[in-house]
């Protein structure tokens, strides 16, 4: 894949701020692409983790915040686990997601931001994921109530999805985390 780098003034570079936020040292990346090879969403995205690393290293600026992987990443941390240099690649993607929100980077096309919002809202309310509420919020947002529902009865039957929320999560602590994050970072979830 050809990587196109727009000419960026050093002062506009995201490299240092991403290093500060993630605690990762971008300069030790070997470009071995093991992170991209293991990424479960890499085949669906235009940009891949190793490409993000390379572009950051070459002083890419705010245009990087419009990369689709920022919102498609499922935070599985496979990239971090596979990196032979011990780079926390997932933390780098997290840092870019945070910057994208702060700097109001243009929204991704499609429903990925909507899904993220529905997921975070249910974690905030219930203290952990609650799939039924998340699916309902997501479907309300898309207006497509009956799409992708064919496996729902089987999942319900096999206990993969519960009709009632789990009471195991510590709602108070989770809500406090969300409150603090909003106060400190001005993030909207
Ligand atoms: S696995 Fe690590 S060293 Fe290899 S390209 Fe990805 S970040 Fe760089
Ligand atoms: S954490 Fe994100 S970027 Fe890393 S492997 Fe998982 S989905 Fe891909």
Q: Do residues 165 and 125 both lie within one domain?
A: yes
| pTM exceeds 0.85 for this model | no
The alpha carbon of 94 and the centre of ligand 2 are apart by a number of angstroms equal to 10
Q: Do residues 97 and 117 both lie within one domain?
A: no
Separation between Cα atoms, residue 107 and residue 111, nearest integer Å: 10
Q: Do residues 136 and 80 both lie within one domain?
A: no
Give one DSSP letter per residue of 122-134, joined into a string.
HHHHHSS--HHHH
Q: Is residue 162 part of a domain?
A: yes
Task: Give the per-residue pLDDT at 189.
Answer: 47
Give the number of the ligand closest to the Cα of residue 85: 1
pLDDT block averages, 10 residues each, the chain of length 189: 57 89 94 96 92 94 91 93 97 93 77 86 90 91 85 88 81 90 65
Structural domain including 44 reads: 11-102
Count up the domains in the chain and report the number: 2
Burial label, 168 (beta-carbon count in 10 A; 0-12, 13-18, 19+): exposed
The alpha carbon of 84 and the centre of ligand 1 are apart by a number of angstroms equal to 7
Q: Do residues 117 and 88 both lie within one domain?
A: no
- Report the residue count for the chain: 189
Which domain-ending residue is among 80, 102, 124?
Answer: 102
Q: Do residues 88 and 152 both lie within one domain?
A: no
């Amino acid at each position: 894949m050809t990587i196109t780098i727009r000419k960026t003034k050093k002062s506009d570079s995201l490299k240092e701020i991403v290093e500060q936020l993630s605690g990762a040292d971008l300069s030790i990346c070997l470009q071995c692409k093991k992170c991209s090879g293991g990424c479960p969403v890499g085949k669906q995205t235009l940009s891949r983790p190793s490409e993000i690393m390379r572009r950051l290293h070459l002083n890419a600026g705010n245009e990087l915040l419009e990369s689709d992987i920022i919102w498609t990443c499922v935070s599985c941390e496979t990239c971090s686990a596979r990196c032979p240099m011990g780079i926390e690649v997932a933390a780098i993607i997290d840092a870019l997601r945070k910057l994208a929100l702060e700097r109001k980077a243009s929204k991704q096309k499609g429903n990925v931001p909507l899904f993220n919002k529905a997921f975070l809202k249910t974690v905030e309310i219930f203290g952990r994921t609650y799939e039924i509420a998340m699916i309902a919020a997501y479907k309300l947002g898309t207006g497509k109530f009956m799409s992708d529902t064919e496996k729902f009865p089987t999942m319900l039957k096999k206990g993969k999805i519960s009709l009632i929320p789990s009471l195991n999560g510590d709602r108070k602590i989770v809500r406090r985390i969300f409150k603090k994050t909003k106060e400190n970072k001005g993030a909207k979830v």
